[in-house]
Amino acid sequence: MLVELRLLEIPQALKSLAGVKMELEDCAYPCLSKVVCTTDPLEAFDSADCIVLVGGFPRKKGMARNDLIHANTKIFTEMGAAIDEVASPNVKVLVVANPANTNCLVTLNEATSIPTKNFCALSFLDHQRAKAQIAKRLGVSTARVRNVTIWGNHSETQYPDPLTDGYCIRDDGREVSLASLLKDDVEWVTNDFISTVQNRGKSVIEVRGNSSALSAAMASADCLKTWLVTGTNDGETVSMAIYNDKGYYGIKKGIVFSFPCVCRDGNWYVKEGLDLSDFAREKLAVTEEELVEERLAAEELIVKSRLRSLSTTSLTSSESDVEMTNSTHSGNYLKSRI
Ligand X SMILES: NC(=O)c1ccc[n+]([C@@H]2O[C@H](COP(=O)([O-])OP(=O)(O)OC[C@H]3O[C@@H](n4cnc5c(N)ncnc54)[C@H](O)[C@@H]3O)[C@@H](O)[C@H]2O)c1
Nearer to ligand X, 168 or 290 (CB): 290
Between CA 304 and CA 323 the distance in angstroms is: 12
Is residue 303 within the footprint of ligand X (CB under 6 A)?
no
Alpha carbon separation from 150 to 81, 109, 155, 218, 238 (Å, rounded): 29, 24, 11, 17, 9
Is residue 54 within the footprint of ligand X (CB under 6 A)?
yes
Q: How many residues does the chain have?
A: 338
Alpha carbon separation from 62 to 59, 66, 137 (Å, rounded): 8, 12, 36
User: Closest approach of Cβ 277 to ligand X, in Å?
Assistant: 26
Is residue 298 within the footprint of ligand X (CB under 6 A)?
no
Between CA 295 and CA 73 the distance in angstroms is: 10
User: Closest approach of Cβ 96 to ligand X, in Å?
Assistant: 5
Q: Could you tell me which stretch among 3-11, 144-152, 250-258, 276-284 binds ligand X (CB under 6 A)? A: 3-11
Q: Which of 38, 46, 55, 274 binds ligand X (CB under 6 A)?
A: 55
Is residue 280 within the footprint of ligand X (CB under 6 A)?
no
Q: Which of 5, 9, 88, 115 binds ligand X (CB under 6 A)?
A: 9
Count CB neighbours of 5 within 10 A: 15
Q: Which of 7, 125, 178, 189 binds ligand X (CB under 6 A)?
A: 125
Q: Which of 3, 4, 10, 225 binds ligand X (CB under 6 A)?
A: 10
- 70 assigned to active site: no
Could you give the residue ranges of the DSSP H alpha helices within the chain?
Answer: 14-26, 41-45, 65-86, 100-110, 124-138, 178-181, 186-188, 194-198, 200-208, 214-225, 278-312, 317-328
Is residue 146 within the footprint of ligand X (CB under 6 A)?
no
Is residue 98 within the footprint of ligand X (CB under 6 A)?
yes
Q: How many residues of this chain interact with ligand X, rule: CB under 6 A?
A: 19
Q: Could you tell me which stretch among 51-59, 185-193, 254-262, 322-330 binds ligand X (CB under 6 A)? A: 51-59
Is residue 68 within the footprint of ligand X (CB under 6 A)?
no
Is residue 235 within the footprint of ligand X (CB under 6 A)?
no
Rg from Cα positions in the chain: 21
Nearer to ligand X, 21 or 144 (CB): 21
What is the x/- site pattern for ligand X, positions 192-231, by CB under 6 A? -------------------xx---x---------------
Using a CB cutoff of 8 Å and minimum separation of 24, what contacts does 224-232 make?
A: 224/50, 224/52, 224/92, 224/94, 226/124, 226/263, 227/92, 227/94, 227/120, 227/263, 227/266, 227/268, 228/50, 228/92, 228/266, 230/263, 231/262, 231/263, 231/264, 231/265, 232/261, 232/262, 232/263, 232/264
Q: Which of 97, 108, 168, 284 binds ligand X (CB under 6 A)?
A: 97
> Catalytic site residues?
154
Binding site for ligand X (CB under 6 A): 8-10, 13, 54-56, 58, 75, 96-98, 100, 122, 125, 154, 211-212, 216
